[in-house]
Structure 1
Amino acid sequence: MEAILPLIVQLIAGGAGGNVIAQLIKKVDLGPVGNSIAGAIGGLAGTWLATKIPGLSGLVSGMGATGATAGGIDVAALAGQGVTGLISGGILTAIAGFIKSSMAK
Structure 2
Amino acid sequence: MEAIWFILVGLAAGWLAGRLIAGGGSNVIGYIIIGVFGSVLGGVLFDVLGLSTGSGIFGKLIVATVGAITFLLLLHVIKKP
Q: TM-score w.r.t. structure 2 length? A: 0.65
**Where in structure 1 are there 5+ consecutive unaligned residues?**
24-28, 63-76
Q: For residues 82 and 17 of structure 1, what CA distance do their matches in structure 2 show?
A: 10
Q: For residues 15 and 75 of structure 2, what CA distance do their matches in structure 1 show?
A: 15
- Taking structure 1 as reference, are residues 43 and 7 closer, same or farther at Cα in structure 2, changes over 3 Å only? same
Matches within 5 A, 1:55-74: 55-56=50-51, 58-59=52-53, 61-62=54-55
Query: Does structure 1 residue 90 correspond to structure 2 residue 61?
Result: no
The ranges of structure 1 where at least 4 consecutive aligned residues each deviate by more than 6 angstroms after the TM superposition are: none
Higher relative contact order (CA 8 A, sep 6+): 1
Q: For residues 35 and 97 of structure 1, what CA distance do their matches in structure 2 show?
A: 15
Corresponding position of 1:19:
18
RMSD: 2.9
Q: TM-score w.r.t. structure 1 length? A: 0.54
Q: Which amino acid aligns with 2:31?
A: S
Q: For residues 92 and 98 of structure 1, what CA distance do their matches in structure 2 show?
A: 10
How many matched pairs?
80
**Where in structure 2 are there 5+ consecutive unaligned residues?**
none
Asked whether the equivalents of residues 43 and 88 of structure 1 are also in contact (C-alpha less than 8 Å), the reply is yes
Asked whether the equivalents of residues 43 and 85 of structure 1 are also in contact (C-alpha less than 8 Å), the reply is yes
Larger Rg over CA atoms: 1
